[in-house]
Structure 1
């Protein structure tokens, strides 16, 4: 059925649940797992009076975020390997999380995306957006959403 599964995680409790479920699914299907953490870029302010930060400081902050993101993906990879699942940990740097998830799935030739959703509704969904909704809407491969 599925040979390579991508699971997106940000290290939150809900996404850890998605990782656990993805590991179980991959083990039962004898599929490989790709664990993805998307790391944002440092927001730049172009407004007058905005705080200025040196390029070196921005680089240091982004490296720190990338290291933390890789640690999240590595921890999930170790959990998968402990369950006997072949796993690969990857990070992507992007402010467009949904786009990065779909690009990573394509790059790694995945045939299923697993991710969590907070299940927000109404105004909170409009204000906070939904990366899961974007992936569901635009993905060319199946998406399994867990809550």
Structure 2
């Protein structure tokens, strides 16, 4: 039924449950899995513009976000490999997580999006309830939301 499934993750416990379900679904359908992590585009957006950052600060923060994203995707890769599921990983940078998820699903020609109902806030945020709602209301693809 599904040939390519996109799963959005930030590495949070709830997102890990969505990943596990997406891997199982991909294995059952012989589908390829695309694991996506979205990182913020501009660090100052997450501090309400209250602080001024030097280029070194921004570089350090962006590296932390990139490292966190890679850790989340490495965990997906380990689990997918153990289940015999073919996996592609992607990291994208966006201030609008829902649009980034929908865009990645289109780019990778996915026919299902799997995501958690919510996740972390602040610097490590990825999948907030409002982002899930955004994907549900704007995606032309089927969306499986897990709690």
The CA RMSD measured in Å over matched residues stands at 1.7
Q: Larger deviation: 62-71 or 98-107?
A: 62-71
Q: Give distance in 2, aligned partners of 1:84 and 1:51.
A: 46
Q: How far did 1:55 drift?
A: 1.6
- Structure having the higher Rg: 1
Q: Give distance in 1, aligned partners of 2:59 and 2:37.
A: 19
Q: Give distance in 2, aligned partners of 1:46 and 1:80.
A: 37
> Is there any run of 5+ residues in structure 2 with no aligned partner, and where?
119-127
Q: How many aligned residue pairs are there?
A: 136
Q: Hey, what does 2:57 align to over in structure 1? A: 57
TM-score of the pair, normalised by structure 1:
0.86
Q: Give distance in 2, aligned partners of 1:79 and 1:46.
A: 37
Q: Hey, what does 2:95 align to over in structure 1? A: 95
Deviations 1:44-80 (A, max 9, x none): 5786xx4322022102211221121122012102211
Q: Hey, what does 2:23 align to over in structure 1? A: 23
Q: Is the 8 A contact 2:44 2:51 kept in 1?
A: no
Which residues in structure 2 correspond to 1:1-147 (within 5 Å)?
1-41=1-41, 42-44=43-45, 50-118=50-118, 130-147=130-147
TM-score of the pair, normalised by structure 2:
0.86
Q: Is the 8 A contact 1:112 1:141 kept in 2?
A: yes
Q: Give distance in 2, aligned partners of 1:145 and 1:34.
A: 16
Q: How far did 1:145 drift?
A: 0.7
> Is there any run of 5+ residues in structure 1 with no aligned partner, and where?
119-127
Corresponding residue SS for 1:141: coil
Change (3 A) 1:113 1:90: same
